[in-house]
Structure 1
Amino acid sequence: MKKKLMKKGLLLWVACFILSMCFIPFEAKAATDSAPKVEKRIVRYRSTYVNDKQVYLENLENGKITSVKSSNRNVARIESVGRDYFTFENTKLGSSKVTIKVKKNKKIYTLKTTIVIKEARPVQYLKVDGKNVFSVNNKGSVWIYDKKSKHKVSWKLAKGWKLVFAGYSYDATGYAESRDRKMKNGGSIRHRSTGEWVSLRVKDKEGGEYKLDIHFAGKSYS
């Protein structure tokens, strides 16, 4: 009796395994055959933040982008085109209609999206040594020229915005997020001769990100 049950169990397991293997090629083929997609409306903020100027396509798999055209180069000037993404730069507020040509499985697809650039006011204030340095005109990038030995940085986020990361760097040429370089609200950063960065990355209710950078220029800049 036990042997019969074990045999039936083994046969059932083999049948299930074979059945599951049959679905794998079907699922892979379905994914490959699906049409490429892009968001119909892409909202970004006017800023110097590079990462939010990248647009990725969906369902591209073995396909590739062949061309990207923007109707308004002041709002969205196409900077580079990769296999499954493109990047753009912007100088003005407004909207631009973008047309994307994609080749996949010997088929040509025409995708369309609208890129909207709006102004960001993510903070009620961003203070350096008690003085508010935030302005929408600086597009998230602030430069401080002085020779103080240290600076106190504080901020208060506007309604609907959340802090993702706040940090600092002593590399005058760039900034990278690191756990050991976290910046506390109201904390101080020492001023070195090479200059340093304080950076706040925030996001709105829809998940749209914005970045605030403060660069304290060293003696060589002043």
Structure 2
Amino acid sequence: MIREKKSWLTGILVFALLCTLLLVVPQEHAMAASKKVPAFDKTKQIVFVGDEDSYVDSIKFVNVSSKAKVTNIKFSNPSVLEYAGMHNVNQGIDCRPLKAGKCKISCKVKQGGKTYTLSKNITVKKADPFSYVKLNGKNVYKGGTAKICSYFSDKFKVKVSYKLKKGWKLKKMFSNDHYRDSKTLRYTMTKDKKMKNGDSVKIQKEYTSVKIDAENSKGEVYRYLIILTRKSGKAGMKAAPGAQSDPEIDITELGQVYDY
């Protein structure tokens, strides 16, 4: 009887041990699988040709710490996509799309005592999604040759209207107010404010930006960026509408959408 009881207890212990192993082993595999390494956000990306003097796109990283070091940045076709610098690893690599074509970006990321080699294929396209973009009734759109418009206004409010061409639809339209942070001395922007076609936006703080994201049938997103500044602003400057604005614009915070 005692022997049977011991056998029964042994069976229970063995069963419990097996259950524990079944629980522990998958967790260990899950932890190993969930360990993330530095990478580009996507292996492929599409950007559109913009203003070669002022418009900059950002190639983002994922799974990187602020202490990670990026070196050996290379562009395989700089006549198509030009390297425009890198402020820090969180903002990514800045680049300027010059003409339609393809370019491969590669670099090395050193993090946690290891070095990772990354690469990403970029396709640069031309697009002309708008019939017009009007600010207070004045058309500022240049037929797809520029994705950014800097506009000085003598009014506090600016009416923004647009018309999309066939094959394009609105994905999102919103505005942000921008100002220089007194502690970091860097430009900061407020949360997105949703807008509709024909809405008027008030120029606040140092300048206000409006983004119009147009999407084609392939799901590619073209962002038109508008910078609104008061003529009688902080610097007391006067300039014709459409001129490049004087405030330092952190384009890496404002630039091209790439989440498609």
Closer/same/farther in 2, CA of residues 85 and 13 from structure 1, 3 Å limit:
farther
- Counterpart CA distance in 1 for 2:156 and 2:150 is 16
Match of 1:29 in 2: 32
Structure 1 residue corresponding to 2:130, chosen from 123, 129, 149 = 123
What's the secondary structure of 1:95's corresponding residue? strand
Q: State the Cα distance separating 1:178 from its structure 2 match.
A: 2.9
- Counterpart CA distance in 2 for 1:108 and 1:214 is 39
Q: State the Cα distance separating 1:83 from its structure 2 match.
A: 6.1
- Counterpart CA distance in 2 for 1:146 and 1:86 is 32
Q: State the Cα distance separating 1:125 from its structure 2 match.
A: 1.8
Count of aligned pairs = 208
Aligned partners of 1:76 and 1:115 also within 8 Å: no
Q: State the Cα distance separating 1:155 from its structure 2 match.
A: 1.6
Note the 1:1-222 alignment, pairs <5 A.
Answer: 16=19, 18-32=21-35, 39-47=42-50, 52-56=57-61, 65-74=70-79, 75-77=81-83, 79-80=85-86, 86-90=92-96, 92-93=98-99, 94-101=101-108, 110-135=117-142, 136-137=144-145, 139-148=146-155, 150-158=157-165, 159-167=167-175, 169=177, 171=178, 176=189, 178=191, 181-190=193-202, 196-204=207-215, 205-208=218-221, 210-219=223-232, 220-222=236-238
Percentage of matched positions with identical amino acids: 22
Q: State the Cα distance separating 1:197 from its structure 2 match.
A: 2.2
What's the secondary structure of 1:72's corresponding residue? coil
Per-residue CA shift, 1:127-178, capped at 9, x if unaligned? 11222211233x3222333424543221223433433232253x46667353
Q: Return 5+ residue gaps in structure 2 as ranges.
A: 1-13, 181-186, 239-260
Which of the pair is proportionally richer in helix? Answer: 1
Q: State the Cα distance separating 1:37 from its structure 2 match.
A: 7.2
Aligned partners of 1:122 and 1:202 also within 8 Å: no
Please provide the CA RMSD for this pair.
4.3
Q: What's the TM-score, normalizing by structure 1?
A: 0.66
Per-residue CA shift, 1:48-90, capped at 9, x if unaligned? 665x512325799xx9754321133351305228668841221
Closer/same/farther in 2, CA of residues 191 and 99 from structure 1, 3 Å limit:
closer
Aligned partners of 2:157 and 2:200 also within 8 Å: yes
Q: Return 5+ residue gaps in structure 1 as ranges.
A: 1-10
Aligned partners of 2:151 and 2:229 also within 8 Å: yes
What's the secondary structure of 1:29's corresponding residue? helix
- Counterpart CA distance in 1 for 2:71 and 2:20 is 41
